[in-house]
Each structure stands twice: as structure tokens, then as C-alpha cells.
Amino acid sequence: MQIEVDKKVIQDRLKDFQHMSNLVNPYFEKENIHLSFAGYSKTLSSYINCDNYDIYGLHTLLKDLNFWVEYMGEVVAINQYLYLKYENMFKYYSVFDLSPKNQVKYNEIKQTYERLKIYTKLLRIQYNMFKSCSYNVLKLYNESSRALIYRSSF
């Protein structure tokens, strides 16, 4: 079984995700949460270029992908908290007639709310992508293991 990967799609998603991560990072840092995507590109590169018969490489890649699935799930949960927090503030300010001073605050909250809304979608895409990649690598790993066991029994 060969993994079929559209490299252009993954690279485009990566650029969009990195750009939006940079935009929303200050909101996470206000909550003392530091996002780190070190190794993200390396893991995707390993997935794109994986060798179907390198069991050790597939095992390592599978562990990395499972790590990213878990990490993205946690970031989705934290982002959801921030999103709901800013959504409540946005709705609160939208009820009142705003003075010019409060209008600036309202616009900042609205911008943050919109960015977190977009980031929620991008995070879910990344989360689902890593789950799918992990599943594909697991299938490859199982097939390679069976092939190795079958060959060694003769």
C-alpha cells in the first residue's frame, strides 16, 4: 500500500495554519499559554516521504503523529475556551450603545473573536489531518509487520 499525498495541499494548509497561529498567538500568551509547533513541519515531511517497509521509521512516525493528534486536541480545547470567552464579551458589548472609547474596545474584541473563529476551523482541519495521517501510517505499519513476519516464517 502506498500513501497518496497531495504535497501542494499540505503545504498550502501549513502556510495558512502558520500565518493564523502567528496572529492568534498573542491571545494565548495573555492567558500564559505558549503555543509551540516545533517539529510540525518535520513530522509532515516525514509523512510525505515515508518508506513503506521501514518498520522503525513507521513506528517513530506513528508516535509523532499520535503526539500531534493529542497536542492539537488540547489546543482545540484551549482555543474553544478563548473563543467562547471573546464571544461572550462580543455579545455583551454589542447590546449597548457604545461611546467612542468603548467602540475601540468593541472593535478589538470583534477582531479577536473573528480570528479565533477562523483559527478554530483551521485547528480542527489540522486535528483531522493528523488523525487521518496516523490511521494511514498505522495501516502501513501493520502491513509491513505482517510482511516481515510472513517472510521470516519461511
CA dihedral (57, 58, 59, 61) positive or negative: positive
pTM above 0.75, yes or no: yes
pLDDT at 11: 76
pLDDT at 154: 47
Q: Rounded CA gap, 92 and 110, in Å?
A: 11
Tell me the residue type at 72: M
pLDDT at 146: 85
CB atoms within 10 A of CB 78: 14
Q: Report mean pLDDT in 10-residue bins for the chain, 154 residues.
A: 65 83 93 89 87 87 95 94 93 83 88 94 92 92 83 55
80 within 8 A of 67, measured Cβ to Cβ? no
Q: Around 4, how many Cα atoms within 13 Å sit in the side-chain half-sphere?
A: 1
